[in-house]
Amino acid sequence: MADKFQRIVAPFSKGVAGVSSIANASGTLMVLALVLVVNYDIVARGIFNKPFHGAVELVQFALVLIVFLQLPDVVRVGRLTRSDGFLLLMDRKAPRFANVLRRAIDALSLALMTLIAITIFPAFVEMWETNNYFGVPGVFTAPWWPIKLTILGSSILCAVIFAIKLVAARPEPLTNVAVDAKVSET
């Protein structure tokens, strides 16, 4: 039964892993763009006495995007900040208990990400329809909806990843689940 389930989940988890990797790469490109903006602002301010207007707002905007673009891949590879000392100890002494505890953490994380998605959806729709913006008019403004959409998409993707981890009951990253399923087929 477990092998059959793994064959069903493997293509789906591989697709989710691909999407989270693309989001992670996008977040990394945002970091690079942020470095360029900050350095430009420093040089323009220091040498030419012409600061980049809106640099602070752009940094605020970019930081939220970076965090939520990279979050699904962090969850996928199991690098989310947490204390694993107790789980690692339990893996050696009581592996079944460690597995149950890991699944409970994944279930709680799934619930939290689902609640975030449910909560942010109406805000995204409102920002999309009203085209609200943040920043200083005349200096720098940007619409809110891309941030809300990124948070929504990230929380949905994280919820899916936690659901796959919960059902698969494996501590390894999702890519290993897909690889393991292909190996078991041969």
Tens-digit pLDDT string for the chain (186 aa): 567 767 778 788 889 999 999 999 999 999 999 999 999 999 999 999 999 888 888 898 899 999 999 999 999 998 887 767 888 888 899 999 988 888 999 999 999 999 999 999 999 999 999 989 988 888 888 899 999 999 999 999 999 999 998 887 665 566 544 444 444 444
Q: What is the pTM of this model?
A: 0.83
* Residues 6+ away with beta carbon under 8 Å from 21: 73, 76
Q: Alpha helices, DSSP H only, in the chain?
A: 2-47, 55-76, 85-93, 95-130, 145-168, 174-185
What is the radius of gyration, based on Cα positions, of the chain? 21
Of 170, 167, 1, give the one whose Cα is nearest residue 77: 170
- Cβ atoms 15, 157 nearer than 8 A: no
**Distance between CA 52 and CA 130 in Å, rounded?**
28
Of 173, 163, 179, give the one whose Cα is nearest residue 107: 163
